Amino acid sequence: MKRGGGKPTFFGPNMFGRSNMTDILTHQPIPAPSQAKLAAAELIGKVNSEILRRAGEHIDGWRAFWEHPQATAAEIAAEMNGDAERFFRLSEGNLQAIAAMAAIVGRPLADFVPPQYQSRPQPVTFIGNGYVQIG
């Protein structure tokens, strides 16, 4: 503003040599991402989701087996009948796959599966025909 009560000169014709601000800031179109970029982003998202899904399933299964509020691990294993060994082998394989994926993305397994869910709190012995002994 001019001193002494004149007209404001903030964005008048003498400011920046233009008559108004609409000429100063113009819309710059943003190019749409390529199909390759969209596909890459989708695939990376799926891989990240898969690691987190597997880790979540592992932790949920570990808790359901070892921390069940109304059944012991031995009782649950006995009710699995001949599938108990398979359950443990698949759980081990899943944890190994999560560890491999974590290594590929340069992160420790503990970033996905906390240490308390990486091992069994009690010994498990495979006794044949798919059965296990807990403790």
Please report whether residue 50 resides in a domain. yes
Give pLDDT tens digits for 55-94.
999 999 999 999 999 999 999 999 998 999 999 999 999 9
Please report whether residue 16 resides in a domain. no
pTM given for the model: 0.70
The pLDDT score that the predictor gives to residue 101 is 92
The residue range of the domain holding 68 is: 34-134
Give the pairing type, strands 124-128 and 131-134.
Answer: antiparallel
Which of the four pLDDT bands, split at 50, 70 and 90, describes residue 15?
low
Please report whether residue 5 resides in a domain. no
Among candidates 78, 65, 82, which has minimal Cα distance to 121? Answer: 65
CB neighbour burial string for 14-34, b if at least 16 within 10 angstroms, e if fewer:
eeeeeeeeeeeeeeeeeeeee
The pLDDT score that the predictor gives to residue 47 is 85
Please report whether residue 22 resides in a domain. no
Q: Taking residues 94-102, report their average pLDDT.
A: 95
The pLDDT score that the predictor gives to residue 73 is 96
Among candidates 26, 94, 21, 82, which has minimal Cα distance to 57? Answer: 94
Please report whether residue 95 resides in a domain. yes
Distance from C-alpha of 62 to C-alpha of 56, rounded to nearest angstrom: 10
Give the chain's domain count.
1
Please report whether residue 94 resides in a domain. yes
Which of the four pLDDT bands, split at 50, 70 and 90, describes residue 1?
very low
